[in-house]
Amino acid sequence: MNVNMFQAGDNVLRADQEEWAVEPRHVEELPLPADFFWGTATAAYQIEGGAAQDGKGKSIWDTFSHLEPSRTNDENGDVACDHYTRMLEDLDLMASYDVDVYRFSIAWSRVIPLGGRNDPINENGIAFYGRLIDGLLARNIEPIVTLYHWDVPQELYDRYGAFLNTAEFKADFESFARLCFSRFGDRVKKWCTFNEPYIISIFGHHSGVLAPGHSAAAGHDSRIEPWRVGHTIILSHAAVVDMYATEFQPSQNGVISIVLNGHFYEPWDAASEEHKAAAQRRLEFYIGWFGDPIFLGKNYPAQMRAQMGSRLPEFTTEEMTLLRKTAPSNAYYGMNHYSTKFARALPGPPTEDDCTGNVEELATNSEGKSLGPVSGMAWLRVAPDGFRKLMNWVWDRYHLPIIITENGCPCPGESQMTLNEAVNDTFRIRYFGLYLDAISRAIHEDGVVVQGYCAWSLMDNFEWSAGYGPRYGITHVNYETLRRTPKKSASYLEKSFKARRRGQY
């Protein structure tokens, strides 16, 4: 084996992995349904910029990205990709890719700067999103709108701790959602309430690597906070789904759901019942935590309740009634997925603040075998079989049509590449091809209903605590000039989806 390596961010790419990305072996392109839609995804804080422009208020990410010492690689989203002022250029860019849909989020503090139900509305913010939606529709691109993508107004955090006060947050989130439905719902037919509640709860309120940065080391109770946050999200989602169904759906004819992320987990030792059980338990602690109450109208998974005990909040009788009422209203399952990991059962009892189900996540199994080539992020390995298995797991458990709301990867070493090197993103093309084949196989061979696919991301952008290092975009962004340059993966996706839907593959 050739052991030559070159630096790729926080990890390295071996020469054999480089060959994996570019070798000419054929990837069988399997068909997709004729009505299968595709597009790209972004999030407001990651691309918009305009941090204080036209009356926008602060979010927790405006605060978190300016902390000293920096938690975000000495970078922030003040300008980001400047989408706020370059929106028309970005609309034309999407149109040139012939996308069917565009998934974006509304910055809560841009439309209600202070965030609360009694606080003033910023009509400049409303007008911006109105122009964006109208511009999409004029180009025959359907908007998929996420209400909350991690950027709660800072004022609500200062007033009552945001998610840590369920009653207050739920009331303010309902008010924000009602504003969005009333102003945009005549044109928006697909809504997402929250993006990745697991990340909000664990990364924001357990490890503290994302805003608002809560952790035991920072003086917060990581034994309790993540579960309170998750509880708040579940109940706020259900309340908004109920409100939408009652007040808006009859006239607007839209659908609403939530976006859950998750790795798939393979047992660290496939011959061990202990590690097979650990893989299933990890999926329940990751996805079932939110999916079971939201999509089944059930309590938290039994294994979670058994381990967590009183740390896990209880649903009241009224809350369970609301969950059962709104569960059938979830018209689709929004799936964000990037990679697969091995799950190893830990020996001994779980620690006091364990959030994994007493499971260790690993990139290699008991035989030292890895799941696949590593991308530009150490945790993200190419593992399309796990993607197919996750779609089956979700379908079997919730039996809802799936929309892939995020999927993609950064190429190894991409952040150090020249423009010409970066746009020739063969590693990403290979990744996309394998993951799209996994969707086709899940549909045709397994009977899973998958309706559409959103690539992450439309363009390189601010990747949260990693700053501007990882580049996930199918469009290159020069962060000095903000020039957009299509990568080869954009053309690949356009042509591939056309061919797959027509059966011309």
Q: Identify whether the C-beta of residue 81 lies closer than 8 Å to the C-beta of residue 47.
A: yes
Pick from 503, 383, 504: which is nearest to 444 by CA? 503
Is the dihedral angle over the CA atoms 211, 74, 259, 372 positive or is it negative?
A: negative
The residue type of 302 is: A
Catalytic residue among 142, 155, 196, 319: 196
Encoding tokens for residue 53? 């422009």
Known catalytic residue at 247: no
What 3-state DSSP class applies to 492? helix
Q: Identify whether the C-beta of residue 38 lies closer than 8 Å to the C-beta of residue 498.
A: no
Pick from 158, 151, 143: which is nearest to 107 by CA? 151
Q: Identify whether the C-beta of residue 40 lies closer than 8 Å to the C-beta of residue 493.
A: no
Find the helix or strand (DSSP H, E) in which 484 lies.
strand 484-486
Q: How far is 171 from 167, CA to CA, in rounded Å? A: 6
Cα 208 to chain centroid, rounded: 18
Q: Identify whether the C-beta of residue 291 lies closer than 8 Å to the C-beta of residue 393.
A: no
CB atoms within 10 A of CB 234: 26
Q: Identify whether the C-beta of residue 180 lies closer than 8 Å to the C-beta of residue 106.
A: yes
Q: How far is 99 from 140, CA to CA, in rounded Å? A: 9
Q: Taking the C-alpha atoms of 233, 41, 448 and 376 in order, what is their torsion angle to the nearest 10 degrees?
A: -100
Known catalytic residue at 406: yes
Q: Cα(first)–Cα(last) distance of the chain, in Å?
A: 34
Catalytic residue among 142, 406, 414, 463: 406
Q: In the beta sheet, which residues pair with residue 190?
A: 144, 255
Phi first, then psi, for residue 374 (nearest 5°) are -85, 145
C-beta contacts of 158-163 below 8 A and 24+ residues apart: 159/116, 162/60, 162/212, 163/200, 163/201, 163/205, 163/228, 163/229, 163/232, 163/233
What 3-state DSSP class applies to 194? strand
Encoding tokens for residue 18? 């480089």
**Which residues are designated catalytic?**
196, 406
